[in-house]
Structure 1
Amino acid sequence: MEDMDQGGIDLVAGGRNKRTKRVAPKSNDVYLKLLVKLYRFLVRRTKSKFNAVILKRLFMSKTNRPPLSMRRLSNFMKGKEEKNIAVVVGTITDDMRIQEVPAMKVTALRFTETARARIVNAGGECLTFDQLALRAPTGENTILLRGPKNAREAVRHFGKAPGVPHSHTKPYVRSKGRKFEKARGRRNSRGFKPHKELQGHRADLSTAARRNQEPHQQPPVENDEVSSL
């Protein structure tokens, strides 16, 4: 019995659940915490999936709440402006590429000054989430939108090492020149070195290309043939 007491623990099938998620925002913003309190109440009392999604997105980090431009917003809302309210848990930014802004009702955590002015001047409305809770407590006639998460410049540096075959990753290089990251792909100590088979294949390709570029030379004509002509 003593040996059994010192044994391991019985885990349910699937092992330990190590998945974690936010259950509250990390930000200390008082107004954000008030919105969380409001939407916790709405989730509990309405059983609405819309409110649950809003609450979950209020917990997210700023990276996971990317901004949405006016151009994308107007494209998403084309033909739906009159009846529906666009909802973005993030920032609405201005876009000079769009000339005419339709009259839209938009709810967001934040608007840039120019974006707010353009929406209001077009006859639209810029709403806060507490105003949205009064108008649509269960999320009826709303369109939930998000900005492009992978549009950040930092994402271009993710992936395979720069210079590796079939890699499109942007390198963290100070500038282009003779002294900046020129040894990459030549030796293992500088990032990587291609496999020998791949190097041989590249050499074959280069020699074949060189042969194709050389002009075709005709064989020399003998003197007897020239005199007979």
Structure 2
Amino acid sequence: MVWQKCCLGLPTLCFLSFWDFRYCMSVVVQSEIKWPAGLARGSSPVLKMGIDINHKNDRKVRRKAPKSEDPYLRVLVKLYKYLTRKTGEKFNNIITKRLMMARRHRPPMSLARLVRYMKRGGNITKIAVVVGTITDDNRIFEIPKLTVAALHVTKGARARIIKAGGEIITLDQLALRAPRGENTFLLQGPRKHRLAERHFGPAPGVPHSHTKPLVRSKGRKFERARGRRKSRGYRN
């Protein structure tokens, strides 16, 4: 039962079956469709649908700016971003990335480790570059003459480097002296020496695992039985 217009234009009530009504609607719909050029009228147009892309992995987990509000650090980031664009050197790109890293990824570097690396392969004449802190180390007695560029040098390490005839420069001074990273030796502290790193790895107790277990105590009754010693079954 549908409303239609009679010959006088007045709405009248007509009785149509379901199939008649469906046919009438298809005629109306086809008359409203704008058929593409070259396509016969009445044939079904091919509709191209888009691909439903999964966007859950689109986010790139990296920093584009430092979290720190230190204005001097932010100026350094701007400087080395500019040098990266203009020179295209990998050295400047690495410096930029390390300046934006969290402090946990910029561990301090001891003076003994610094001297040990600089003595290898004739690097002693190069500029040692550390994007982080250089700390003093009492385990080393003799320090050669070094030129060091770092974010921060502790008071004790600074005194010992200068006493040996060395030089300490900032990273903005390094940009003036070596804008392309020429005659430099890029170093960083040990990232894996955090105490938290001891708990990462294969599960404690599996064969050949040296991962530190998360236990509340290190006493006689805590993880000392089977799997820990030969006298209690076996030892991994």
Q: Do Structure 1 and Structure 2 share a fold, with TM-score over 0.5?
A: yes
Question: Which consecutive unaligned segments of at least 5 residues does structure 1 have?
Answer: 186-201, 207-229
Alignment CA distance shift 1:99-1:165 (3 Å): same
CA contact (8 A) 1:86 1:106 kept: yes
Q: Is the 8 A contact 2:123 2:185 kept in 1?
A: no
- Give the structure 1 partner of residue 180 of structure 2: 138
Range 15-24 or range 166-175, more displaced:
15-24
Whether 1:63 and 2:104 are equivalent positions in the alignment is yes
Displacement after TM superposition at 1:166 (Å): 2.5
Q: Is 1:153 aligned to residue 199 of structure 2?
A: no
Please, what is the CA RMSD of the aligned residues?
2.9
Against the structure 1 CA distance between its residues 16 and 158, is the aligned structure 2 distance closer, same or farther, given a 3 Å change threshold? closer
Gaps of 5+ in 2: 1-44
Task: Give 1:89's aligned residue.
Answer: 131
* Deviation of 1:179 (Å): 4.4
Alpha-carbon separation, structure 2, partners of 1:170 and 1:147: 22
Normalising by structure 2, report the TM-score: 0.69
SS in 1 for 2:148: strand
Correspondence for 2:28: none
**Distance in 2, Cα, partners of 1:49 & 1:177:** 51
TM-aligned CA deviation for residue 47 of structure 1: 2.2
Partner of 2:70: 29
Q: 1:184 to 1:90 in 2, by over 3 A?
A: farther
Alignment pair present for 1:113 and 2:155: yes
**Aligned pair in 2 of structure 1 residues 158, 16: CA closer, same or farther (>3 Å)?**
closer
Asked whether the 8 Å contact 1:163–1:184 carries over to 2, the reply is: no
Asked whether 1:80 is paired with 2:116, we answer no
Deviation at 1:97, TM superposition (A): 0.9
Question: Alpha-carbon deviation of 1:182?
Answer: 5.7
Q: CA deviation at 1:172?
A: 2.5
Distance 1:20 1:152 in 2: 22
Equivalent in the alignment of 1:102: 144
Q: Which residue of 2 aligns with 1:175?
A: 217
CA distance in 2, matches of 1:163, 1:66: 30
The CA deviation at 1:171 is: 1.9
Identical counterparts, % of pairs: 59
SS at match of 2:160: helix
Q: Figure out how many residues of one structure are paired with residues of the other and give that number.
A: 185
